[in-house]
Amino acid sequence: MKNTYSRYLIAAFILVLLVLPQLAITPEYWITQLNYIGLATLVVVGLVLLTGVGGLTSFGQAAFVGIGAYTTAYFTTQMGLSPWLTLFMGLVLTGIVAYILGAVSLHLSGHYLPLGTIAWGLSLYYLFGNLEVLGKYDGIAGIQSLEVFGISLVSGRNIYYLIWLFVMLSIWATSNLLSSRPGRAIRSLRDGGAMAESFGVNTAAYKIVIFMYAALLASVSGWLYAHMQRAVSPSPFGLNYGIEYLFMAVVGGAASVWGALVGSAVVLIIKDQLQNWLPWLIDSTDNFELIVFGIILVLVLQHARDGIWPYLAAPFQRRQQVRSVKLPPPPEAPALPQRERPQPGEIVLDVAQIRKEFGGLVAVNDVSFQVKAGEIVGLIGPNGAGKSTTFNLITGVLPATAGRVEFCGKRIDAKRARDIARLGVGRTFQHVQLLPTMSVLENVALGAHLRSDVSVLAGTLHIDRSREAQLLHEAAQQLRRVGLGDYLYEQAGNLALGQQRIVEIARALAADPVLLLLDEPAAGLRFREKQALAQVLKQLREEGMSILLVEHDMEFVMDLTNHLVVLDFGTKLAEGKPEEVQTNPAVLEAYLGGVEEEEPANV
């Protein structure tokens, strides 16, 4: 949510940027520094998206800078092509290389991805240094300077404007992207993506997209660099610089676009000062600044995990928070298209002999039951009975060992979570899976991911606004429906746990599901809130929604459900109308004799 303060600040900042090179008193040295800061910022904005937001660490960005720089160096000096054509060629080449590298390395988990980026970062560096056509370690000199509308950009004061134009565009585009439909999907990648997949997000595809996005920005930086220096050699594209870019992202504040600018400026200025002072202090010209950098990085990680930016932004954000919570709801927008619903009484979900084994443990033991349209079915049982696992089998989060699941007559037990979501299955999670730093409204809008088709390009260029308005309007309506209309702009993580569960229901509703699966929605709610929730669920049933409800609390489900299925140790113990099940001796035994206190750690 942008407010007027930050608008003024940005405007003032741009004004200073514009005027600075015009002042004769601005030292040449400052201009040079600012040019380097701008070039670095372009790369680091990409890293903010890739690493800070998307959670994918890359040490290899300098190599993409190299691809952009070498492409233009080679084709302008050897073939006399126009630099504007070679900019485009560099982007295409970088895009292809990034696509291939992304496809092979992005599925690496944990520490293997950063190691993978080190590997190909080094490979590309040695490639630059060993290719005869690229001048080996001497590189390519004699690159022409750029020219825009007949104005030569040979001087630092002139190319400055082009560099900072690209920087501002990259910040603008990346901020746009982050507050769009694809941006919400990208922001959900950090948490592993299982939740997002349940709302139809193709997480693997988004990872490749942000990887390519970051690589393309680095490539532009390389193109500018080549024409500013008018010579290229391999060393600025080596692993050292890849690490430095990542360092800038971390120091600035890896999750904020403006942090990229702050991080680049701080690191380059400190580096420059160290190069001045260190030889004087320790009488050596070796790369001691790297050691000092290492120490600073450790300190930053220990004391300011989110970098410098949050400290700079804090005074404004606090004011913004108070203001934005009072903002009016998003404006009315045309309703999103809705799915056709089955007739009341039709079988929506048919679970037949479903089974799940974890090693020797049979978590779900050949369980069968059905859910009909317009019905609330309760799936109850003591902790560890297999309720959540059954949910995960239905929603495609876990593969079943045996058995079948049909949804509206289609077999879904071999489908992926996101394809099942697309058919109209919405869910909540026993352990709340919201994005805590994102607003409640945006969390819910993520649920409507599949009801819109805004692309990364449209989001980046800000031409998605009417469709974005539809998504936000839908999200606001679902939040009002569940009684959270007053919390639209609150950060999701600030709500009480019980309220967060309700936000999850709104998010599932935003997907326009035919079947809603709720995993312990009443856990952590007070009596009043439970009653309100029951009211919402009854209302949904009247509108024709089918609901499968996992509950621990017998009382809550008794007057709410049409049908109950009781599980114990993975096996179906009883099934029927709530009042029949309630008096079933086997059920009483399981409930009174069972251990109900501890919560198993699972999805």
Q: Does 363 bind ligand ADP (CB under 6 A)?
A: yes
Q: Convert 229-278 into a string of H (helix), E (strand) and C (coil).
A: HCEECCHHHCHHHHHHHHHHHHHHCCCCHHHHHHHHHHHHHHHHHHHHHH
In sequence order, which residues have a C-beta less than 8 Å from that of residue 513 and are 6 or more positions away?
424, 425, 426, 545
Binding piece for Mg ion, criterion CB under 5 A, among 202-210, 271-279, 388-396, 441-449: 388-396
> In terms of CB distance, is 248 or 385 closer to ligand ADP?
385
DSSP secondary structure string for all residues of 101-144: HHHHHTT--TTHHHHHHHHHHHHHHHHHHH-GGGTGGG-EE-PP
CB nearer to ligand ADP: give 441 or 581. Answer: 581
- Asked if 563 interacts with ligand ADP (CB under 6 A), we say no
Considering the complex, state which of residue 421 and residue 518 has its C-beta at the smaller distance from Mg ion: 518
Q: Which is nearer to Mg ion, 267 or 364 (CB)?
A: 364
Verify binding: residue 33, ligand ADP, rule CB under 6 A: no
Shortest reach from residue 564's CB to ligand ADP, in Å: 14
Helix, coil or strand: residue 345 = coil
Question: 345, 388, 389, 392: which is closest to 370 by C-alpha?
Answer: 345
Binding flag, residue 80, ligand ADP (CB under 6 A): no
Residue 533 in contact with residue 525, Cβ under 8 Å? yes
Cβ proximity to Mg ion: between 364 and 434 the closer is 364
Q: Tell me the window of 323-331, 410-418, 428-436, 506-514 that interacts with Mg ion (CB under 5 A).
A: 428-436
Nearer to ligand ADP by Cβ, of 66 and 384: the residue is 384
DSSP state of 329: P
Which two tokens mark 311? 């400290």
Q: Which of 76, 105, 320, 388 binds ligand ADP (CB under 6 A)?
A: 388
Our finding on whether 571 is near ligand ADP (CB under 6 A) is no
Looking from the CA of 170 toward its CB, the CA atoms found within 13 Å total 32
Is the Cβ of residue 50 or residue 354 nearer to ligand ADP in the bound state?
354
Shortest approach of Mg ion to residue 167 CB, angstroms? 49
Total of residues contacting ligand ADP (CB under 6 A): 13
Stretch of 40-48, 104-112, 314-322, 380-388 lying at the interface with ligand ADP (CB under 6 A)? 380-388
Q: Does 541 bind ligand ADP (CB under 6 A)?
A: no
Q: Considering beta carbons, is residue 84 or 358 the nearer one to ligand ADP?
A: 358
φ, ψ for residue 564, nearest 5 deg: -125, 140
Structural tokens at position 83: 């630099």
From the list 9-17, 57-65, 170-178, 385-393, the region that binds ligand ADP by CB under 6 A is: 385-393
Of 134, 196, 167, 130, nearest to 44 by C-alpha is 167
Structure tokens at 400: 């079943």
Number of residues in the chain: 603
Which of these segments, 68-76, 303-311, 386-394, 494-502, binds ligand ADP (CB under 6 A)?
386-394
Residue with smaller CB distance to ligand ADP, 273 or 602: 602
Quick one: which segment of 41-49, 57-65, 356-364, 586-594 binds ligand ADP (CB under 6 A)?
Answer: 356-364
Q: Which of the stretches 42-50, 194-202, 275-283, 387-395 binds ligand ADP when contact is defined by CB under 6 A? A: 387-395
d(CA 561, CA 478): 22
Q: Pick from 76, 86, 203, 389: which binds ligand ADP (CB under 6 A)?
A: 389
The two three-digit tokens of residue 153, written as one number: 């950009």
The nearest distance, CB 531 to ligand ADP, in angstroms, is: 24
Residue 518's H or E segment, with its range, is strand 515-519
Amino acid identity of 135?
G
Return the residue of 430, 460, 499, 561 that touches Mg ion, per CB under 5 A: 430
Report in angstroms the alpha-carbon separations of 424 from 81, 370, 475: 53, 16, 17
Among 121, 200, 381, 459, binds ligand ADP (CB under 6 A): 381
Does 388 bind Mg ion (CB under 5 A)? Our answer is yes
Amino acid at 215: A
Query: Toward ligand ADP, which CB reaches closer, 272 or 357?
Result: 357
> Of 404, 383, 44, 53, which Cα lies nearest the Cα of 244?
44
Name which position in 46, 263, 384, 459 contacts ligand ADP (CB under 6 A): 384
Q: Is the dihedral of CA 123, 129, 135, 141 positive or negative?
A: positive
Residues 6+ positions from 543 with CB-CB distance below 8 Å: none
Is 307 a binding residue for ligand ADP by CB under 6 A? The answer is: no
d(CA 578, CA 593): 20
Give the separation between CA 259 and CA 264, rounded to whole angstroms.
Answer: 8
Contact 198, 504 (CB under 8 A): no
Minimum gap (Å) between residue 16 Cβ and ligand ADP: 55
- Residue 392 contacts Mg ion per CB under 5 A: no
> Which residue of 42, 62, 63, 385 would you call a contact of ligand ADP, by CB under 6 A?
385
In the list Mg ion, ligand ADP, none, the entry touching 386 (Cβ below 5 to 8 angstroms by class) is: ligand ADP
Q: In whole angstroms, give the CA distance from residue 353 to residue 355.
A: 6
**Min CB(565)–Mg ion separation in Å:** 14
Q: Which among Mg ion, ligand ADP, none contacts residue 383 (Cβ within 5 to 8 A by kind)?
A: ligand ADP
- Residues in contact with Mg ion by CB under 5 A are 387-388, 430
- Residues in contact with ligand ADP by CB under 6 A are 358, 361, 363, 381, 383-389, 600, 602
